[in-house]
Structure 1
Amino acid sequence: MTKTGLVKAASIVAFLTIVSKVLGFIRETSLAAVFGATSDTDAYLLAQTIPYLLFATVSYALTTTFIPVYSHVREERGKEAGFRFANTVLWAVLLVAVVFVMAGEVLAEPLVRLVAPGLDGSVAELTEYLSRILFPMMIFQLLSGVVTGILQAEGEFAVPTAAGLAQNIAIITSILAFGPRYGIASVAVGTMVGAGLAFAVKLPALARTGFRWRAVFNIHDPGLRRMVILMLPAILSAGASQVNTLVDRILASGLPEGRVAALNYANRLMELAPGIIGASITTVIYPTLAKLAAQKNWDRFNDALVRSLSFVHFLLVPVATGVLVLREPLVRIVYERGAFDAAATRETAWALLFFSLGIAMFTMRNLISRAFFTLQDTKTPLILGAVTVAINVVLNLLLVCPLEQGGLALATVIATTLGFVLGLVAFRRKKLGRLSWTPLFVSITKTLASSV
């Protein structure tokens, strides 16, 4: 893909992401207005933690390992071989997803105790009930992750991004139309239905690529074997990242009522800019990096990586400065209505103060991690992830008492920054072509200086 093509694709993805984020904020503000920062909201968010923990872990590993292997198969054996490989992966993922759902339904009670040991009896029971409603959505989400990988590898970026619109609309409808009458359980049902709609939206675009879902499951496919080998450390790496969220919510569940919700609402606000700008760049550049890696064109690979990191930092640091300065009015404008009162605004703004410091770094660390995946190296991100998690857990324990949910946010930012720096060092040691981080450091220095 040419530079113009990359910019065009990233712009389309950014526009659709903006629409999706707007709907996401309508979803969050609707949830805040109808249910506020209450035990019901805490139960819903904690119930999401269990299936999302598994989904985010496996889906991230699927997408990041599928695209490089799929690109390699296409380069060496042609498009039809790539489609046969994709069919095998889809059937394997369906089998794994069904097993996960069945296990989740059976083990919901101990899983809730694991992720939220600080909950009292009634809230714990509600969390368990909601988690059983949410578990089936994993089937749609995991299949959707593979379909997204196929579409992105084939140069289709708009539809996977637009699919999130359907999911948000379903959740918003469940909150506003059914929430006041049927309670928080209706929101869980809407969340599951939304996951199914998001998967269905991608199927017509998948058919346009020439792909046909057939009863093909070749367990001896060399691509599948390679992907499984890569996925094992990738799952552990993604799981290590999710441990941060898990530890945050475990510790937050022991804080006064509403702190889990405040941390979540602040995190949603913090994710807005990285989700629009950072994710757009990462989504478009990742298949390009995978293709360049398959071709072993290291000079172009390194240039694309450095430019992408510099561009992300250039765009996101000024945004972070604005969020830092305007955090409380921003929370008030977005959330303060209905059951979300001034006290909830203060608690959410407190967490956002610290989250804002890492707005650029979250995307940059994700991008450097994905660079390793394009090289079919999943061990290095695993090691880096484990080190980052260890740092985060220690900082969480040190900071949660004096700073409450703000301490959890600050710990995440510090650990993420250190993880990014370690990633740069590890990538430099790969010695792939000509690589210099100097342009990146110059860009970072200039951007920080202009934002002060």
Structure 2
Amino acid sequence: MSLKKTAIWITMLALVLKLSGFLRESIIAAKFGATELTDGYLLAFSFITLVVAMIANGFNNVFLPLYVKKKKEASDATEKDANGIMNVTVLLFAVVSVAGFFTAKYFVPLMFQDMTPRTEEVAVQITQIFFVAMVAIALNGILESYLQARRIFVPSQVSKLLATLMGAVFAILFADTWGINSLAYGFVFGTVLGILIQAFFLLRSGFQWRPTAKVGVDFRKAFIVLIIPSLLNSVVGQINMLVNKSFASGTTEGAVTYLNNASLLVNIPNAIYATTIGAIIFTLLSEQIDRKEQFQNTFFKGLEISFLTLLPIAVGLLVVGEQALSFIYERGAFSAEDTRATYLALLFYLPMIVFQGLQFIVSKSMYAQGKTAIVFRISVTTIAINVVLNMLLVDEYGYPALAFASSMVSLYYLTVSLIVVYRGFDKHESRKLWRMVTRALIPAAAMGAAVWGLGQVGFVAGLYSLIQLAILVPLGIVVYAVLLRVFYRDGFNRLLGLVKRRKAV
């Protein structure tokens, strides 16, 4: 399958995945609202996102470029090394699984010291459930990396979809029996199904599993040198999230849920982008590392696609975000007051849509170049900055300050990373970036003004939230597309060509 067709398929699956995520969150909101139960579940789920980040980002960022490079030199030996890496990683997570299960009752209260007794009870219990399944969760992420190295992208999306969808299905079927634990059981069940699907496609591609823990000296040395800073870097974002949730748990009841629900909406565009176009661009960057001009062109196209698609989404959510949140969450135990509290957090999260989208391409380019240690040195400083901002702001401004701090940290991370990358590029490349940014700002701003203006009209403002979105979103798309063609025709044509082109990428 060509990369063009693959991109279409995984984009469709990513959209279905996000819709499934909203289904799950809507069920959580309807059945449990924004309470101590949901706060406890979300705190426990933080540990799973930590593991997923370590594998999907930390492991993959090192394994993919190294695997592609070594396979060109010695294909059979590289396959044996890949087996060894997989087996050793699974064994390590087996140890983590046992240790985490028995120590959860100690480290969960230590990490989130201001929890209510009920929140603590739920957080500890669900954390133990997730740690029992830690090997399966880690293996699921490892298989994704192996498939991506073979240019097989679709099964991984199906696997992610099953984990999310089963959480929603189990909540519908078993919430009355298992309570909020049903979400965790569903996630684990879907993860196991995902492993079976990914393993099937990996074996069909010619991969042969071997029961070995041996890894060649050259491959092992290169992997270890890069994996340690990469893993540490991959969890920096999750550590910042844990820090934010820790501060939020000490503010008001439901604050963790408000931040979580707002961040889920903010993360949708980047999640779709990272798992579709971004994954393919990383593969291409890894393959073009020795061809500077092609590498620079691919890098710029990645930034351009990211900025031109994510900027209007951020502006659009600024003006219709409350309607979107109302439609997704506002039912059952989740009230209109909860929606307004979530929208307040959303406003301060919005810049992250653009910053994180650009950062994804910048970081991937640095990983492809083997600059793992540099990425880590930059990203680790974000933890200190995040903690300081939280301490300075949260007591006076409450949980919205945590969202603001996240956006500021994201801006810092992107700025420093861009400086590092462009030092190694031709000088005219940075000028291309700034021309692209300035030309896209006017269409996005005009689109936001048009959507906001129509949204204030009496007959529109009084409609149900979904109907408002059905009117305002198409208007925004049309206005942005028309003005982008006027102010930045080259970028518009490249985006249009990406959609219309039928030849393989």
Partner amino acid, structure 2, of 1:43: G
1:65 maps to 62
Kindly provide the amino acid, as one letter, of the partner of residue 385 in structure 1.
S
Residue in 2 that maps onto 1:401: 395
Q: Provide TM-score, normalisation by structure 1.
A: 0.94
- Partner in structure 2 of residue 438 of structure 1: 431
Asked if structure 2 preserves the Cα contact closer than 8 Å seen for 1:30 and 1:172, the reply is yes
- Residue 426 of structure 1, CA deviation: 0.8
Any idea what SS the aligned residue of 2:252 has? coil
Alignment of 1:53-452 (within 5 A): 53-78=50-75, 80-293=76-289, 296-429=290-423, 431=424, 436-452=429-445
Q: Distance in 1 between matches of 2:165 and 2:335?
A: 25
Deviation, 1:67, is 0.2
Equivalent pairs, count: 445
Q: Which amino acid aligns with 1:439?
A: K
Are 1:50 and 1:115, in contact at CA under 8 Å, matched by a contact in 2? Answer: no
Q: Secondary structure at the match of 1:326?
A: helix
Q: Is the 8 A contact 2:46 2:238 kept in 1?
A: no
Percent identity of paired positions between Structure 1 and Structure 2? 29
Give 5+ residue unaligned stretches, structure 2: 446-505
Structure 2 residue 29 is matched with structure 1 residue 8: no
8 Å CA contact 2:56, 2:144 repeated in 1 = no
2:17 aligns to what?
20
**Native 8 Å contact 1:34 1:176 kept in 2:** no
User: Contact 1:388–1:415 (CA<8 Å) still a contact in 2?
Assistant: yes
Distance 1:289 1:121 in 2: 49
Distance, in Å, in 2 between the alignment partners of 1:220 and 1:349 is 52
SS at match of 1:135: helix
Deviation by residue 1:117-157 (Cα, 9 ceiling, x = unmatched): 11122321221111111112321222222211111111111
Indicate if the aligned counterparts of 1:298 and 1:434 stay in contact, CA closer than 8 A: no
Q: Distance in 2 between matches of 1:225 and 1:100?
A: 23
- The structural deviation recorded for 1:434 is 7.2
SS state at 2:429 partner: coil
- Residues 12, 384 of structure 1: CA spacing in aligned structure 2 closer, same or farther, 3 A cutoff? same
Q: Offset at 1:343?
A: 1.4
CA contact (8 A) 1:36 1:340 kept: yes
* 1:266–1:318 CA distance, 2 compared to 1 (3 A): same
**Paired residues of 1:71 and 1:153 also in contact (CA < 8 A):** yes
Determine the C-alpha separation between the residues in 2 that align with 1:198 and 1:37: 30
SS of equivalent residue, structure 2 residue 214 = coil
Report the RMSD for the aligned CA atoms in angstroms.
1.7
CA distance in 2 between counterparts of 1:312 and 1:177 reads 39
- The one-letter code of the counterpart of 1:396 is N
Q: CA deviation at 1:370?
A: 1.5
- List per-residue Cα deviations over 1:226-267 (Å, max 9, x = no partner): 112101111121222222101110000001111101110111
Listed as ranges, the gaps of 5+ residues in structure 1 are none
**In 2 relative to 1, CA 114–54 (structure 1 residues): closer, same or farther, beyond 3 Å?**
farther
1:77-136 CA deviation, whole Å, 9 max, x = no partner?
Answer: 12x333212111110111111011011012102221233111122321221111111112
When structure 1 is superposed on structure 2, of 406-415 and 134-143 the one drifting more is 134-143
Equivalent position amino acid for 1:240 in 2? V
CA distance in 2, matches of 1:360, 1:102: 39
Residue 465 of structure 2 corresponds to which residue in structure 1? none
- Provide the C-alpha distance between the structure 1 equivalents of 2:202 and 2:316, rounded to a whole number of angstroms: 39
